[in-house]
A and B are shown apart, each in its own frame.
Chain A
Amino acid sequence: MSDPVKLLGLVTACSPLVSAVFVGVLLWGQGRPSERPIMLATRLAFLGSFCASVALAATVGLEGRPHILEFGSWYTVGGHRFELTFLIDRLSILMMLLTSGACSLIGHFSITYLHNERGFARFFLLLNIFAFGMLILVMAGSVDFLFVGWELVGVTSALLIAFFHERREPVLNGLRAFLTYRTCDLGLLVGTILLHHYAHEAELSSGLGTADWVSGATHLDPFHSTVVALLFLVGAMGKSAQVPFSGWLPRAMEGPTPSSAIFYGALSVHAGVYLLLRSAPLLDASPGASAVVFGVGATTAFLCTLSARVQTDVKNSLAFATQVQVGWMFMEIGLHLYSLAAVHLAGHACLRTWQLLRSPSILRDMHILRSEIGHEAAPHRWLGHLERILPTGASLRLYQLSLDRFRIDELVHRIVLRPFMIACCRLAELDNRFVSPSRKPQRLTRSLEDAHR
C-alpha cells in the first residue's frame, strides 16, 4: 500500500473486521473463551481505528479537498462493476470520527459492564461487526458499497436486541426490528439500482453529485431525482425509526445498555440521517421529495414528543426523545439546512450516548438527590402550558393516544402483518394436506397468535 491515506482508510475500516474474525474463531473453537484476549483484540482494534481516523481526518482536513480512495473492484460481471472506494470528505470525516470514537468509548465501557456475562464474546463479536459495517456505511464511496455496511448494521442490530435470548420479549423485538429494516431496505436497494440506471453509476461523487459536500449538484433530472430520493427516504425511515416505521425503536431497548447507547443513541439511528445528508444534491433538485422528508420528520417529532412525555421508564423516554430529535434532523434536511443537521447529528449522538450509558445508575442518583433535597419534585404537567389551553376531554384523549403510541403499531399489524400471516398459515395448511394427505393437520393457530406480536 504505497499511498499512506489509503492505508489509513483501510486501517480505520478494517481493524474491527480483523478483531471480529479473531473473536469469531475463538468463539467457534472454545465455546466460552476467556475475556482477556477478546478485550485486548477489541481495544486494539477500536483504538487503531480511532487513531487512524484521526490521522486521516487531519491529513484530508489539511489538504482541504475530498479524497476518493480506490481499492479496485470487488467484482465485475456483464459490464457491471462493483467498485471498492472510500469517499473522505467533511461529512464522512465527521461520521468516521463519531463512529470510531463512540465504538472505542462504548467498547471500553462494555468490558466492565458485561464482565462475567455469559454472552460476553458474542456481544463483542457483534459489536466488532457492527463497527465494521458502520464504518463502511459512512466511508463508502458508492451507494452499492454503502448498502453492504447498511445491511451489516441491520443484522447486528437485530441480534443485539435479542442479546438476552433466554427471555421471549427481546427475541420477538429483535425480529420486529429486523422485519422493519428488511422492508425499508428494499427502498434503498431499488433506489441504488435506479441510480445505476439513471446515472450509469452509483458513485457518491459523480453519480449522486456529492463530491463537494454540500455544494455539489446532481445531473439527474428532477423526476429521477425525486424517485431516487423518495426511495432512499424509505430506507432512511426504517433505520432512523420514523413514522410509520417507528415502533421498533422503543422495543429495541431490550438489548444491553451499551448496545442501546451505540445503536440507538449514537450511530445506527443516525444512519438514515447520514443517507439523506449524502442525498443532498437529489433533495436540492427535488422540492417534492424535500417536502416529504420534512413532513415525515415533523410527524415523527410531533407524535413521539407526546409519547415521550407519558413514558414511565428511562430507556423508553430516551428512545422516544431520540425519535423526536431525529425527526427534527429530517425537518432540517427537508429545509436544506444540511450543515445544521450534521451538527445536530453529532451533538445529539454524543448527548444521547452519555444519557443512555448513565441510565442504569440514574435512578440511584435520583434517590440520592431526593434525600439530599428532602422532598419530592413537584409533579409536572404532561403537556406543559398547552394543557391549560386544551379542553380536558381533548387533553385526556390525547393522553390516552400518547400512551397507546398513537396505535401506529396496532394499525400496521392489523392492516398488513396479520392478514399476511393468516394467508401464510392458510397456504401452509393447504400444502400440508397436499404433501401429507393422511397425516393429522398441523395446528397453525399459534402462528396466528404470534402474528399479533
Chain B
Amino acid sequence: MTSFTLPLLSTSLLASAGGVIGCKLARTASVARARAIASAGASLLLAIVGAVAFDAVEVPFLRDPLLPVVGVDTASALLLPLPAMVAVAVLLLAPRDTLSRSGTVDVLWTLGATTLMFSAGDLGLLTLAWTLAALPLPRLLDGRRDSRRALAGLALSALPAIAATALVVAHAGSVRIWSPETVPLAAHSQQIALVLILVATMARTAIVPFHGWLVRLLDDGFGPLALVLASPLAGLYVLLRFGAILPGAFPRDLPWIAGLGLMSAIAFAILALGQTRQMRTALYLVLSQYGLILMGLGETDDLTVGGTLVLWMSQSIGGTGFLLMALGVEWRRGRISLDRHHGLLRGAPSLAAAYFVFGMSVVGLPGTLTFVAEEILAQGLLIDHPWLASGFLAVTATNAVGFLRLFGRVFLGSWTAESATCADLRPHEKVVAFALAATLLAAGFFPAAILRDRGSWAHDITQREHEVSGARDTR
C-alpha cells in the first residue's frame, strides 16, 4: 500500500485554496473570517485524519491518490496538523481588528503553503512551498518604517534555501524526500548547501540575529500572520529534510548547530528580562524556547532528539496561545509598558488565567507537555554535553522567572480606572482558549502516545546520523 484510499491531502490543499478565494470574494471582514475558520477547520480535520490513517498502516510513506507528489511519512504525519491547528487558533482568538479581509486571505495562503511544504514529497516542491508561504509579507512590510532589515531577513529565509535546492538538484535531478537516498554531492558542496539551509532556517525560525522581521510584523499589527508563519517552526523541518538528503555534512557540524541554538536561547532569555514592552517580552520568551529546539536538533541521541520533537509540538501550540493572549492584552489596552504594574487581573480574570496557563506551558510548568519535553532533553544532554546542559537549565530557569515577572507586571497590581477598561475574554474565546489549554494539559498528563510517535521519528533521525558517522569512520 503506497497511497491513501481517500484524497485527504489534496482535499486539504483544495480547502485552503477555496478558503483564499472565498475570503477574497467576501464582502465584510466578519464573513471572510467565518469562511477562513471553516476552511482552516477542514484542513485541520483532514490533517488529523491523514495522520491517524498513516499511523494505522506500517509503511514508510503514503501518497495522495490525486496528487502523488504529496503525501505523509513518519515526520510529516506528526507535523501536518500543527499549521492548521495554529491557523484555527489564530482565526478564532486573534483580536478582531488585527484580521482584516485581506488578513484572512494571507493567513489561509500561508496555511496552504505550509501544509504543502509539510506534505511535499519532492525537494523542489518543498522549497517552492517554503518560499510561497512568506509571499504576502513583503507586500505588507513595504514602505513601513524600519522595514528594510525585516525584508532582508525574509529574503535570507528564502534565497539561500532556493540556492541550496538548486545546488542539490543540479547534481541529482529530482530528489525524493520520503525514503531519501544520499545525494552524490562532493563534501565541500554538501557543506555549502548545509550552511545555506542553516541560514534560511535561522532566518525563518527567527533565531538571533534574524528575528527582526518577526518583531516588525508584531509591532506593525500583523501578529496573526506572523504566528501562522513562525509557530509551526517550518524552518526546522526543512533543516531536518536536508539533513536526511545530505547526511555527510550533518554529523560533523551538529555541535555548532546546537551551540547556535543555545546562544540564541540565552540571548532571548536575557533580552526578555531586559525588555520593557509586554509584547516583545512575550515574543522573546517564546523565541528563547525555539532556540532550545534548534539546540536539541543538533544532538545525536534518541533521548535528546525525542525530547526536542516533543518540545517542538508543545512550543508550537503553547507559544501560539501565549502570543495570542499577549496580542489580546495589547489590543484591549494598547501598548503595555512593563515599567509599572497594570493590575488587569480583576477586570479580566479569564484572560489572566489563559495567559498564565499558556505562559506556564511555554516555560514548562509540571503537568504541561513542555515540562515533559524539557525533562527528557535535560536527561539526554547532561551526561554527554554538560556545558550545553548547564546553559539549557539556566535558560529554562531564567525564562520561568521572566514569565512570572511579565505576568506580575501585566495582571497584578492596584486596580485603577485605567485597568478597568480591559475587557475579559468573550464567551467563544473562552471556549477556544479552554480547549487549547486543555489539550496542552492533557498532553502533559498523558504524553505516552505523543512520545511514542516522536520517539520513532527521533530514532530514524539519529539512526541515519550514526550510520553515516560509522561509514566515515570505516573509510
Contact = CB atoms under 8 A, between A and B. Distances in A.
Interface string A161-203: 0100111100110110011001101100110011011000000
Residue among A185, A194, A424 having the largest count of chain B Cβ atoms under 10 Å:
A424
A442 B413 contact: no
Interface string B406-423: 001001111100000000
A331 to B, nearest CB: 29
A99 B341 CA distance: 35
A421 B402 CA distance: 11
Interface range on chain A (Cβ under 8 Å from partner): 35 or more
Interface in A130-173: 133, 144, 148, 151-152, 155, 158, 162, 165-168, 171-172
B207 interface: no
A426 B341 CA distance: 22
Nearest to A177: B404
B372 A75 contact: yes
A80 B412 CA distance: 40
Interface in B260-281: 267, 270-271, 273-277
A397 interface: no
A444 B149 CA distance: 24
A197 to B, nearest CB: 5
A80 B349 CA distance: 39
A421 to B, nearest CB: 7
Interface in A317-352: none
A190 B397 contact: no
A444 B274 contact: yes
B126 interface: no
Nearest to B414: A166
A78 B306 contact: yes
B415 A428 contact: no
B307 A77 contact: yes
Contact of B274 (A31, A167, A428): A428
Nearest to B219: A436
Contacts of A32: 349
A155 B365 contact: yes
Contact of B447 (A74, A78, A168, A444): A74
A185 B397 contact: yes
Contacts of B434: 28
A256 B216 CA distance: 43
B270 to A, nearest CB: 5
A431 interface: yes
A82 B373 CA distance: 12
Given A28-B353, A152-B366, A434-B209, A80 B274 contact: no
Most buried by B among A155, A167, A427, A431: A431
B276 A443 contact: yes
B390 to A, nearest CB: 8
B434 to A, nearest CB: 6
Identify whether the interface residues of B are mostly helix, strand, loop, or mixed. helix
Interface stretch (B11-19, B71-79, B224-232, B378-386): B378-386
A178 to B, nearest CB: 5
Contacts of B216: 435-436
A79 B302 CA distance: 9
A190 B382 contact: yes
Nearest to A31: B349
Interface in A399-453: 421, 423-429, 431, 434-439, 442-444, 446-447
B339 interface: yes
Interface residues of B, number: 69
A178 B400 CA distance: 9
B273 A78 contact: no
Contacts of A155: 360, 365-366
Contact of A148 (B366, B393, B430): B366
A76 interface: yes
Contacts of A427: 267, 270-271, 274
B220 to A, nearest CB: 11
Given A82-B375, A168-B413, A423-B270, A437 B146 contact: yes
Given A151-B366, A193-B382, A435-B146, A77 B397 contact: no
B451 interface: yes
B366 A182 contact: no
Given A175-B405, A438-B146, A77 B346 contact: no
Nearest to B412: A165
B448 interface: yes
A209 B198 CA distance: 47
A189 B455 CA distance: 23
A167 B212 CA distance: 37
Contacts of A114: none
Contact of A166 (B340, B346, B365, B372): B346
Nearest to B214: A435
A151 B371 CA distance: 10
A60 interface: no
A55 interface: no
B184 to A, nearest CB: 32
B146 A436 contact: yes
Please indicate which of the listed interface residues A151, A162, A193, A434 has the most CB atoms of chain B within 10 Å of its own CB.
A193
A426 B451 CA distance: 40
A183 B397 CA distance: 7
A68 interface: no
Contacts of B367: 148, 152
B160 to A, nearest CB: 21
Contacts of B289: none
Contacts of A197: 382-383
18 contacts: A32-B349, A75-B448, A77-B307, A77-B458, A78-B458, A80-B380, A82-B375, A168-B341, A168-B413, A175-B404, A178-B401, A182-B401, A186-B394, A193-B378, A193-B389, A424-B273, A435-B212, A444-B276
Given A168-B413, A435-B146, A447-B338, 10 more contacts: A28-B434, A76-B448, A77-B451, A79-B303, A133-B366, A166-B343, A171-B341, A436-B216, A443-B276, A447-B276
Interface of A: 27-28, 31-32, 73-80, 82, 118, 133, 144, 148, 151-152, 155, 158, 162, 165-168, 171-172, 174-175, 178-179, 182-183, 185-186, 189-190, 193-194, 196-197, 421, 423-429, 431, 434-439, 442-444, 446-447
